[in-house]
Amino acid sequence: MSQLTPSDDVQQFICNMVNVFDKGPFKKLRSSDKFSIFPDPGSIFGHTPSITAEDDSNRFYVMEVVEAANMDLDETQLRLEAFAKKSRISKSIFWIFVPEGMGDKITKKCADLGISEHVNRIKELEL
């Protein structure tokens, strides 16, 4: 079972992302941040992602925000593997958001874990 709790700053960031995504193109948004008016994205293989959503074509999205401090934790590896497995099995779309400057590191981590082909997008953000 997932034990990571995002920092308050990242929880606020997730909430802001959901508020933007709610204006389009997503629906059925759920997030794990404590500020969410769209709570409980649900567990995926024992881990709760930062955000889940559907688009207008009913494609399911799993979005995970990975903090720099958590990048090398075993828990992060397990989370990424679980969400990539969901993407592989159900053809859902898996996006990873990381702090600026961490894109190469998370790309390498995904390659090392053998999940790169199941990650649809890696995006660096100012967290």
Q: d(Cα 127, Cα 117) in Å, to the nearest integer? A: 25
34-63 pLDDT, tens digit per residue, is: 877 777 778 899 999 999 999 999 999 999
CATH number of 8-125: 3.40.1350
Tell me the backbone φ, ψ of residue 95, rounded to 5 degrees: -115, 145
Tell me the backbone φ, ψ of residue 93, rounded to 5 degrees: -105, 125
3 state SS of 65: strand
3-state secondary structure 84-98: HHHHHHHCCEEEEEE
**Residues listed for the chain:** 127
What pLDDT score was predicted for residue 2? 55
What residues pair up with 123 in beta bridges, in sequence order?
Answer: 97
Picking from 51-55, 104-108, 123-127, which range would have the lowest pLDDT averaged per residue?
123-127
Indicate if the pLDDT at residue 3 is higher than 90. Answer: no
Terminal C-alpha separation, the chain: 25
